[in-house]
Amino acid sequence: MSQNLTQTQAFARLAELAARPVSLKDSLNAQRIKEYVRHNGPLEFSFATALVDTPVLDALQKLSDEQDVIGKYKRLLAGDLVNVGEKRKVLHHQTRSLSDRGMYGEEQQKIAAFCEKVHSKQLIGYTGKPFTHVVQIGIGGSDLGPRAMYIALERHVKSLKGTLPLTASFIANVDPDDANHVLSSVDFETTLFIVVSKSGTTQETLTNLAFVKQRAKDSGLTDVDLKKHFIAVTGKGSPMDDPSAYLASFYIDDNIGGRYSSTSAVGGAVLSLAFGADVFESFLQGAGVMDQCALDPNIYGNIALLSALIGLWERNFLGFSSKGVIPYCEALSRFPAHLQQLDCESNGKRVNMAFDAIDYETGPVIFGEPGTNGQHSFFQKLHQGTDVIPLQFIAFKKPQIASDITTFGSSSQDKLIANLVAQMVALAVGKDDVNLNKQFPGNRPSTLLIAEQLTPAVLGALLAFYENVVMFQGFLWHINSFDQEGVQLGKVLTQQLLADSSDRDPVLVALQSLIKD
């Protein structure tokens, strides 16, 4: 079935249920907390503090069935052209398939072999020194995901292996201060650059590539020297697929969108070089396990589907327009920024799969910072602001690094978890007070993802969980989560301005003249 959300039978039922909202103040108790937990692979999902009850969950199950969410997922996996706007397949799941990874598996094998040569010092820099640093030049999906994953695992791999095979930095912004700053902290002799652009034509990336090459030449490197320091991740046959300029090329294709490319060569090259191909393989395995779990049509057996449905309930029936993702884990400090791209670029849409306008809300504003930091920042608004903002918390039973300390009778890890639990309960239950300024309204919902420890496999599981949540919501909303037509107009207008011809739009020119030196 392919239909708008509002055309489903479940829609009317859910709208009815929304009129008599669940009260967490009345219903949250130890029993509910024990019952409202499900797990998939290494992840547990607690939804006791969400604004749902059995009738709501039953209706959400019916909505999922009516929209044939799992059927759509299976057709996606089978290679149907589910990216209807661009008439493309959607194959990012194949990069971490537990059976056959096709060309993506072959590319990752090439990457692993290349890493082995770098890590064993068979491949070295132009002055004969081994590589100690890798710099990824890319933007959007070629930056946010890989960068967030690198930050997430940097501490863990360092403590596992004693040291990182290579340390990594990232250049993304066309702002020249970005490349200048990163280059000030690396040495060309010992640095390998990865240039990432599927089309081989991304303006920012080509500009930063030229910038880095120019600075290298200024430092005395010849073209022959340069080639020893650059590898490409790009589409086969793209302008960047050029063996004369790159030591190696690893391929991606049009069936994987940038924001879904962390498990492809886009993340594979930099993460395998920095951490070792073994670590990246664990990451892929963790993702693959969650993709399998996501096949269950029963919402109680499929936490990505359950989370997707709760999000839709909050957005379309309870009317909440934004969502916070709060990892109680410093290593996930940039994970919310990646999810912001993943969600907003996938489901920030107003046209359905048949290219007709829709009359209901799609993807919310996604934002987040790690806890406990956020508690000392925007949590005031979460507790006492005029809007209700649903949250998804992420927590781990153990820190990434074994070293902890007991102060004031508890470990730092215990304090971290106690803070998280206190926030969830304060939001859900609130507190009365005759002084309204000290009153907490309560009934502010959240959900919680839990795992043992943030290992590579668990990070892969988390990433796949969120990718599948976004995919399921797209199916439920009957929109295409895999194109991004909304970025095109800006590109066209930018080119018009930079072309510097006489027939440029006077509005563009007038605005530009305000800022141009």
Structure tokens at 376: 């000392």
Specify whether the CB–CB gap between 476 and 64 falls below 8 A.
Answer: yes
Q: With binding defined as CB under 8 A, does residue 81 bind a second copy?
A: no
Specify whether the CB–CB gap between 135 and 191 falls below 8 A.
Answer: yes
Minimum distance of a second copy from residue 109's CB (angstroms): 29
Which amino acid, 136? Q
Among 22, 420, 459, 462, binds a second copy (CB under 8 A): 420
Specify whether the CB–CB gap between 108 and 268 falls below 8 A.
Answer: yes
User: What is the contact mask toward a second copy in residues 495 to 514, using x (rule: CB under 8 A)?
Assistant: -xxx-x----xxxxxxxx-x
User: What is the contact mask toward a second copy in residues 431 to 450, using x (rule: CB under 8 A)?
Assistant: x---xxxxxxx------x-x
Among 204, 281, 291, 314, binds a second copy (CB under 8 A): 204
Contacts 24+ apart (CB under 8 A), 414-422: 416/328, 416/371, 416/372, 417/328, 419/328, 419/371, 419/372, 419/375, 420/328, 420/371, 420/372, 420/393, 420/395, 420/448
Give residues 278-297 in contact with a second copy (rule: CB under 8 A). Answer: none
**Closer residue to a second copy in complex, CB, 216/273:** 216
Residues in contact with a second copy, counted by CB under 8 A, come to a total of 157
Quote the radius of gyration of the chain (alpha carbons, Å): 24
Minimum distance of a second copy from residue 297's CB (angstroms): 26
Q: With binding defined as CB under 8 A, does residue 186 bind a second copy?
A: no
Q: With binding defined as CB under 8 A, does residue 137 bind a second copy?
A: no
Specify whether the CB–CB gap between 95 and 492 falls below 8 A.
Answer: no
Dist CA 143 CA 259 (whole Å): 9
Dist CA 143 CA 140 (whole Å): 5
Q: Give the interface segment with a second copy, choosing from 94-102, 304-312, 383-391, 455-463 (CB under 8 A).
A: 383-391
Q: With binding defined as CB under 8 A, does residue 322 bind a second copy?
A: yes
Structure tokens at 365: 């504003």
Which amino acid, 332? L
Q: How far is CA 30 from CA 425, 429, 444, in A?
A: 12, 13, 18
Give residues 345-374 in contact with a second copy (rule: CB under 8 A). Answer: 345, 347-351, 355-358, 360-363, 365-367, 369-373
Residues marked active site are found at 345, 376, 491
Minimum distance of a second copy from residue 126's CB (angstroms): 21
Cross-sheet strand order for the sheet of 365-367:
37-40, 43-46, 446-451, 391-396, 322-327, 365-367
Give residues 20-59 in contact with a second copy (rule: CB under 8 A). Answer: 28-30, 33-34, 37, 44, 46, 48-49
Q: With binding defined as CB under 8 A, does residue 96 bind a second copy?
A: no
Q: With binding defined as CB under 8 A, does residue 489 bind a second copy?
A: yes
Give residues 247-276 in contact with a second copy (rule: CB under 8 A). Answer: 258
**Closer residue to a second copy in complex, CB, 186/493:** 493
Q: With binding defined as CB under 8 A, does residue 340 bind a second copy?
A: yes
